[in-house]
Amino acid sequence: KYRPKPVLPGGGLVALAKLHHRAEDRVPLHSEQQRDLSYHHWAALENLRSGPGDYEAWECIVSALNIGMALCEGGIGPECIDEMIEAQEAAIRAKVRANRHGVHRLDGDGMRIITEALRTHDAQLELAQRQEVVTAIRLIKQRLDEGQVFSIEAA
């Protein structure tokens, strides 16, 4: 006996939307997305260089460095992993100074190293597929949840 399958409220549009999102995951970020992501960390770096040097700017830089590190680990620029580690260490030095003096500032080497790491991160964003960036962000969240962070006491 024939029993027709129930029709979902969205019909075949749900399946088409899922296919579309899967295809979107396999393409690089749009130039506007790359620009938006880059703008925030470059503005934050300028804040640390000559602006108020606030925690939010420091945190934005650290987030970009963490994404860069995770992308390196995922195969996008793996040769730059040491550069990302050095940049993270420079960011931790700035945090240690901020804990003492109340302002987040980078030392000369830190500014140079982080600038290069952010350039690398921009290049990674040009090469990465959307899903690779999402995976990197999820990896960072997982590490934070597990307490896998740089220790300021060790710095």
More confident residue, 70 or 25: 70
> What is the reported pLDDT for 24?
58
Amino acid at 78: P
**Mean pLDDT over the full length of the chain:** 85
Q: What percent of the chain has pLDDT over 70?
A: 81
Give the DSSP per-residue string, 39-103.
HHHHHHHHHHHHS---HHHHHHHHHHHHHHHHHHHTTSSGGGHHHHHHHHHHHHHHHHHHHHHSS
> What is the reported pLDDT for 8?
54
Taking residues 137-148, report their average pLDDT.
90
The model carries a pTM of 0.80
Residues 51-92: pLDDT tens digits?
888 999 999 999 999 999 999 999 999 999 999 999 999 999
